[in-house]
Every structure is written in C-alpha cells, then in structure tokens.
C-alpha cells in the first residue's frame, strides 16, 4: 500500500545535493515519487522510513523521520522535554534520533578516516541498525537502532578491529580515560626509543657520508641492520599488525603505508648489506635510519594527536562533571546522601544553597534562585517556586527546596545535551565525507603510483635499473606514509566542536561548523545572553537628606551575608570587603532581608516586605 513519508534532511547545501538525494531515492523500486528540498523530502511509495533514511545516508547526507510534533513547542521546561533555549543543539529535525535506542561502543585499532569508514559500513550492515556514527577522536561508535549488541561487536571484529559495548556513562568515561592514558604512554616511549636511535644514526650518516656501504663499514652496518629490525619490532609492531589485519580483510589503511614504506626501506638496505655485489657502488646507499625515523615521528604524531583528543574531550567531561556524585534523599529516616545512580523517578530530594541539581525534577516546597546559564545561556539566575521544573547540572545560588525527581540517568536534559555534543563530534561535514572518499582509495593509489614509478625507472632509467627501481618505489611509499588528509579533517572537527563546547556553544552537527564560515549576520533572540553575565548596580535613588554613598554602604552591610545575586551586585558596587557588625540578620524568603546595624533595625526588600512591616 502506497504512503507518504516526510524526512528532515541535513547536510544539503546546493542544488547538486538536492538532485543527488532525489535520484538516490527515486532509484529505489519501492519509491514512486520523491520531492526534495535542502531541508526535507516528501517520499511516496511502499518503502519504510528506516530504508529511506539508509538510502539518504548512503548518498552522503543525514536524514531523520519528520513527525507531526516536530515543530518547536512553546512550553519550555517539562520533565520529558529539554528547554528550547538549551537545545541550540537539538531541534525538531532530530525526533527520530531521540526515539531510537542507542548503544555506545568503544573501538580499538582505528588510526585514520578509512578505518572510520570501514567500521561504519560494518555496523550499518547489522540488522536493526538505523544509523552508525563513529568518532575517531574518542575511538567510539554511537549506534542508533534495535540491533543486538553482540552482533555489533562481532561486525566490528570481522572488520579487523576490536569493540566492546559500554552503555553506562561512568563506565565508558573510566575506560576511555584509562585507554587514553595507556595509549599516550605507549606512543610516547615508542617515539622516544625510535628517535633516540634514529636521530644519532641519521646525523652520523650525514656528517661522514657513512650511509654508503663500503668494505670498511660492512660489519658495522650488518649489526646496525639487526638493531634497526629490533627497534622496528619494538616501536612499530602495532603498525604491522594493523596492516596485516587490513590485508586479510581486503583493504588498506594508513598503517598499510607505514608498514610498506618502513619495511621496503629496511628490506632494500639489508639486501644491500647481505649482497653488496648485486648492487653497483653508487646504489649502495642505506636507509636504516629512515625506517626508525618514520616510526618515531609517526608515533610522536600519534602521541600529540592523543593529547589533542584528550583536550577536546575535556569539554564533554566538564559537562559530565556538572552532575554531582550524590543526592540528598528525603524520606521517613530523614535526610541522607545516596549515589545519584540510585535515584529513581518519584523520590523526594532536598537542595540547599551551593548544591548542583542531581536529576531533573519539579519543586514541591521552598523557593530558590537557580543559575541555569549552562543550560539556557541566560546569565541572570532564575527564581523557582513550587511547581517549577528544575534541571540536572544547574546550580542553587540561594535558597532551599524539596523536589520530586522526574528524569534520571541518561534521560535528563543534561545527558541528552552531552549525547548531542558527542553526536556532533562524530558527524561529518561535506569536506569530511570528501576526505573519507579520498582516503578510501588513497592507499591503493599510492601503491599503484609506487609500482608505476618503479616500472618507469626500470624500463627507461639509467643503470643500474633494479637499484633505481627499488629506490624510487621505496621513496614514494615512504613520503606518502603520514596520511594527513585522513587525520587532519576528523581531528579538526573534534577540536572545533570540543572548543565550542568549552566556550558554551553547543554545535548540533559538523555541517554547521563548515557553513559557519559563510555567516555574515548573527541574530539573537534575547538580550540576556549578551550581558556580562552578572547583575550590576546602575543607579542609586535616594530620598531626603541621605547621600548615595551612605545608602549604598548601609544596603551593602545588610546584603553582605546574603547569597542572592542582586545582593552580590550591591556589595560589589559598595566595594565592601570586611563583614559589618550586623546583628540578628535573617533572610525573609521571597521578600528580602533584615538586621540590626549600629542599633538600628533595617529592612531591605520588595514592596511585599515593606507592606508587611507597615511601611508606606
């Protein structure tokens, strides 16, 4: 039976993109007609939504099912829905992602963009997978759909990589940190060992022209060749293992180039040492130092890359740290601290000044001021009363409340924002997809060029043909080792999204980063986000004979003991640094403060406070 499905599209930037998606959809036998714009597609036919989304993804773009409630809602803060102010990262074009279950996998063995492409293809072929996003920076994969976790791990293993499913956020965080530290240490010492041997060897060879094999240094080079092999095994075994796995799976990665380049250089050099008579005197140049230098520099590059990834991931870690480890439970036994992981919806929790909200909930009793800048971008703290919604990660600046937990764990607004930032790091802009397509054929093309270059020198080059052929082919393989395109593009995306998150800017998709270079106008929907981030005293109005300074000093003396945001502004304006001699200070919730200063009873607050005290 024919039906029409609406898809929200992302990543289309021109008419060519629209044409490509339209042709991809209409080539399906179960699609009758597809109307496509840069933002959406109306598809008529018998195809289901998952199949259509997969087709758009295969064309190099993103798609999600567009539902009837996809438009932004005017009710901002509910327990089941994040505030629209917060979701500069999550708009109506992603409802399908929110509805689908997700699995987080930690991937081992990925080194470049072609590895990412292979893992993504392997995961997308698993039954039930709607979408797979692989994050090279975090060495992880986010899989959306109803797939069996064991099948996901098996698919990654079959592709030549290792994987483990980690759905618990804290467990994932601990394992990633442990893996990152271990990788950093390994790359660092491997780089140090290789360079410690390679640099002196290179300098010795360059200074005395000792890279040429002669009768006088034959024994020395034989020993250095054996030592070089040991250094290569110790510092580069992971490259050779990865290259072998790729070869068994019928593919090639950056590690294949590293293995071919360093291996060819060593094999050629050791062949010269073992059979010098086969090579003319002018072709007896040795490249032992090149093998270890390449391994040392690439290991150093991996160590620096690991350091950059850890730095860019700190933005996510800071978001995770906004959630406290414990919550204050209120029950028949009184107040007691419990782990946040034990909090269940419906529990009653207490918050006091200085606490961070552990889970999303609704205030039952009390009143407090909440700093929600990390969530909404609004610098001014918000006053919350019974019935108001509060959100995990926000800070209680002043007051005390009891609230009922509504959303916990991965269902809180903060958790969804963290998940969206992670998805943004895993997403690819158009330039990233171009890099993937290039890197997929990069290694085979380089190997082909090396073979053609060697053949040309063998057929048409000067004597000795075989020596020049080996030198030229080896040189092409060596200089192509650091597959920069496959590393620079994903790392720039990770660094960009991570740095934006550090500054409080949440990016929904990497395409937004690429398109941001074309922005010439920014429009803000409210002025609160453009302030200095804290209230300031702008004017002091006095009555009678009092001076501005005396009124401000008296008000600051009263407000010194208060944690209210406006109280801090008054104290800052008065430049009061020492606590005043104030007696009987007390906070009157929702109205103001009172106290006795120099024998006088003082009140400071709103009209309700003055009315209750009989003051006109």
Cα separation, 253 vs 111, in Å, equals 8
Residues in contact with 27: Cβ distance below 8 Å, sequence separation at least 6, in sequence order = none
From CA 320, how far away is CA 140, in angstroms rounded? 17
As a whole number of angstroms, the distance between CA 398 and CA 306 comes to 41
Please confirm, yes or no, whether 616 is among the known catalytic residues. Answer: no
Partners of 326 in the β-ladder: 339
Distance CA 42, CA 27 (A): 15
Reference 134, options 510, 405, 464, 448; nearest CA is: 510
Q: Which helix (H) or strand (E) holds 35?
A: strand 31-36
* Residue 377 three-state SS: coil
Rounded distance, CA 47 to CA 24, Å? 13
Q: For the chain, how long is the longest CA-to-CA vector?
A: 112
Q: Residue 162 and residue 341: Cα distance in Å, rounded?
A: 29
Instruction: Quote the CA–CA distance of 336 and 340 in Å, as a whole number.
Output: 12
Confirm if 166 and 104 have CB atoms less than 8 A apart: yes
DSSP classification of residue 535: -
Are 300 and 191 in contact, with CB atoms under 8 Å apart? yes
Point out which residues pair with 134 in neighbouring strands: 141
407, 413 contact by CB (below 8 A): yes
CB atoms within 10 A of CB 270: 19
3-state secondary structure of 265: helix
Return the bridge partners of 596, or none: 583, 601
Catalytic residue among 277, 525, 545, 616: 525
Please write down the HEC assignment for all residues of 172-240.
Answer: HHHHHHHHHHHHHHHHHHHHHHHHHHHHHHHHHHHHCCCCECCCCCHHHHHHHHHHHHHHHHHHHHHHH
250: left (phi over 0), alpha (psi -120 to 50) or beta: left
> Degrees (nearest 5) of the Cα angle 570, 571, 573?
65
CA gap 45, 31 in Å, rounded? 4
Catalytic residue ranges: 525
């Amino acid at each position: 039976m024919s039906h029409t499905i609406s898809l929200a599209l992302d990543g289309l930037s021109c008419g060519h993109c629209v044409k490509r998606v339209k042709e991809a959809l209409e080539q399906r036998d179960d699609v009758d007609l597809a109307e496509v714009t840069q933002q959406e597609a109306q598809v008529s036919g018998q195809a289901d939504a998952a199949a259509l989304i997969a087709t758009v993804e295969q064309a190099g773009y993103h798609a999600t099912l567009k539902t009837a409630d996809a438009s932004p809602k005017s009710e901002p803060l509910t327990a089941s829905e994040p505030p629209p102010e917060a979701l500069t990262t999550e708009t109506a074009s992603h409802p399908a992602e929110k509805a689908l279950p997700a699995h987080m996998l930690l991937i081992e063995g990925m080194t470049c963009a072609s590895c990412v492409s292979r893992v993504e293809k392997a995961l997308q072929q698993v039954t039930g997978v709607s979408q797979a996003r692989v994050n090279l920076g975090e060495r992880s994969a986010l899989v959306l759909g109803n797939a069996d976790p064991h099948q996901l791990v098996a698919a990654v293993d079959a592709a030549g990589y290792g994987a483990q499913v980690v759905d618990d956020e804290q467990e994932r965080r601990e394992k990633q940190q442990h893996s990152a530290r271990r990788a950093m240490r390994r790359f660092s010492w491997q780089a140090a060992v290789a360079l410690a041997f390679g640099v002196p060897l290179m300098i010795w060879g360059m200074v005395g022209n000792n890279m040429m094999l002669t009768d006088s240094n034959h024994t020395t080079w034989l020993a250095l060749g054996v030592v070089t092999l040991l250094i290569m095994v110790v510092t580069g075994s992971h490259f050779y293992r990865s290259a072998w796995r790729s070869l068994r799976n019928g593919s090639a990665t950056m590690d294949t180039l590293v293995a071919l380049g360093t291996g060819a250089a060593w094999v050629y050099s050791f062949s010269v040492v073992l059979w010098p008579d086969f090579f003319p005197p002018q072709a007896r140049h040795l490249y032992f130092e090149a093998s270890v230098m390449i391994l040392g520099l690439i290991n150093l590059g991996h160590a620096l890359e690991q350091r950059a990834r850890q730095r860019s991931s700190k933005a996510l870690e800071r978001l995770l740290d906004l959630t406290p480890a414990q919550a204050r439970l209120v029950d028949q036994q009184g107040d007691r601290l419990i782990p946040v992981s034990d909090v269940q919806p419906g529990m009653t929790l207490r918050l006091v000044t200085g606490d961070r909200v552990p889970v999303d909930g609704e205030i039952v009793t009390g009143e407090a001021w909440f700093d929600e800048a990390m969530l909404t971008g609004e610098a001014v703290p918000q006053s919350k009363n019974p019935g108001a919604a509060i959100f995990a990660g926000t800070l209680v600046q002043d007051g005390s409340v009891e609230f009922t937990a509504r959303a916990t764990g991965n269902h809180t607004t903060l958790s969804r924002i963290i998940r969206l930032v992670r998805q943004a790091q895993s997403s690819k802009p158009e330039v990233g997809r171009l890099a993937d397509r290039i890197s997929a054929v990069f290694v085979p093309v380089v190997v082909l060029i090396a073979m053609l270059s060697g053949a040309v020198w063998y057929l048409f080059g000067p004597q000795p043909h075989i020596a020049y052929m080996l030198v030229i082919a080896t040189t092409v393989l060596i200089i192509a080792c650091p597959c920069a395109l496959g590393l620079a593009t994903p790392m720039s995306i990770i660094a960009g999204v991570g740095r934006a998150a550090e500054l409080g800017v949440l990016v929904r998709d990497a395409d937004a980063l690429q398109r941001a270079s074309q922005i010439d106008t920014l429009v803000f929907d409210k002025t609160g986000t453009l302030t200095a981030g804290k209230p300031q005293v702008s004017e002091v109005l006095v009555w009678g004979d009092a001076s501005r300074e005396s009124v401000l000093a008296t008000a600051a003396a009263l407000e010194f003991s208060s944690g209210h945001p406006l109280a801090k502004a008054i104290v800052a304006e008065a430049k009061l640094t020492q606590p005043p001699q104030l007696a009987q200070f007390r906070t009157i919730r929702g109205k103001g403060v009172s106290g006795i200063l120099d024998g006088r009873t003082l009140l400071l607050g709103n009209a309700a406070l003055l009315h209750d005290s009989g003051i006109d």
